[in-house]
């Protein structure tokens, strides 16, 4: 679907989209940047069986952060959530949903200058799985990845560095397990993880949303500057 075919309202692109997924249609919110060849960002929500949706506060904050940085960005409901068809598939089908969302964005933006994946909690696990399957991804954000509940050993080798955020009082994604994952990734050649811990934060980051968005903006800005410098040097 070309950009001109996106639904419009009052002369602007409507953020609500429906696109084909592997188990039925998926519901999303999409912002199309006014910048030519703008980079893309895909934002993934927490666990659907624990109330995770694309309207989660941290998920929405990530979406707006990328929007404000000039990205074309999408957040969406995985299968069985909101108006998205299908049912929860334990993570396997949800990875396919993320790939379908990425395919849709790339069809709309064939000349995008970069691609970022940002996931929160269960969404961080799905996002890192997608990272290993799509070599065109140039950066990632992983907030409270459930390293104590899921095996992240598939990140071997991790294709690139990114930003990982943990809460010091998070009982669902304990900081020591995330720290151990970061240490493993940082031993890999060419991988540098920007690791930030908020000691007073629990899993919902009730008072840290502004700090998280500031950290994401700082990391993405610096990473993209380094990527541009590397391309210029070549």
* Mean pLDDT score, 39-63: 97
CA distance 195 to 176: 12
Name the average pLDDT for the chain. 93
**Structural domains counted in the chain:** 1
Is the pLDDT at 5 greater than 50, yes or no?
no
Q: How does pLDDT run across 47-58, given as a tens digit for each residue? A: 999 999 999 999
DSSP state string for 127-184: HHHHHHH-TT--EEEEES--TTTS--TT-TT-SS--EEEEETT-SSS-HHHHHHHHHH
User: What's the pLDDT at 234?
Assistant: 66
Distance CA 208, CA 212 (A): 6
Residue 83 belongs to what domain range?
A: 3-233
CATH number of the domain that 95 lies in? 3.40.50.1820
**Residues 146, 161: Cα–Cα separation, whole Å:** 18
Instruction: Work out the number of other CB atoms within 10 angstroms of the CB of residue 109.
Output: 18
With a cut of 50, say whether residue 217 has pLDDT above it: yes
Helix axes 92-108, 122-133, angle to 10 degrees: 60
Task: Give the three-class secondary structure for 226.
Answer: helix
How confident is the model over 185-214, as pLDDT tens digits? 999 999 999 999 999 999 999 999 999 999
**Could you tell me which of 52, 75, 51, 55 has the C-alpha nearest to residue 63?**
75
Over residues 86-94, the mean pLDDT reads 97
Q: Which helix (H) or strand (E) covers residue 16, if one does? A: strand 16-21
The pLDDT, as a whole number, for residue 8 is 40
């Amino acid at each position: 679907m070309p950009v001109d075919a996106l639904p419009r309202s009052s002369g602007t692109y409507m953020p609500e989209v429906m696109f084909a997924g592997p188990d039925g249609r998926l519901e999303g919110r999409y912002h199309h940047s006014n910048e030519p060849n703008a980079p893309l960002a895909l934002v993934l929500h927490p666990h659907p069986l624990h109330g995770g949706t694309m309207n989660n506060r941290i998920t929405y904050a990530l979406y707006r952060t990328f929007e404000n940085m000039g990205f074309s960005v999408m957040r969406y409901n995985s299968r069985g959530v909101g108006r998205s068809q299908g049912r929860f598939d334990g993570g396997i089908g949800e990875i396919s949903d993320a790939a379908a969302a990425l395919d849709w964005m790339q069809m709309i933006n064939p000349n995008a200058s970069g691609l970022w994946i940002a996931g929160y909690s269960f969404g961080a696990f799905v996002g890192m799985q997608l990272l290993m399957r799509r070599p065109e991804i140039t950066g990632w954000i992983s907030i409270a990845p459930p390293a104590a509940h899921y095996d992240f050993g598939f990140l071997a080798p991790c294709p690139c560095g990114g930003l990982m955020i943990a809460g010091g009082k998070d009982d669902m994604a304990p900081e020591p397990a995330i720290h151990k994952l970061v240490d493993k990734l940082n031993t890999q050649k060419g991988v540098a993880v920007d690791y930030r811990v908020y000691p007073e934060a629990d899993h919902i980051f009730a008072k840290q949303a502004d700090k998280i968005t500031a950290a994401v903006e700082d990391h993405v800005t610096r990473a993209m500057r380094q990527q541009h410098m590397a391309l210029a040097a070549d």
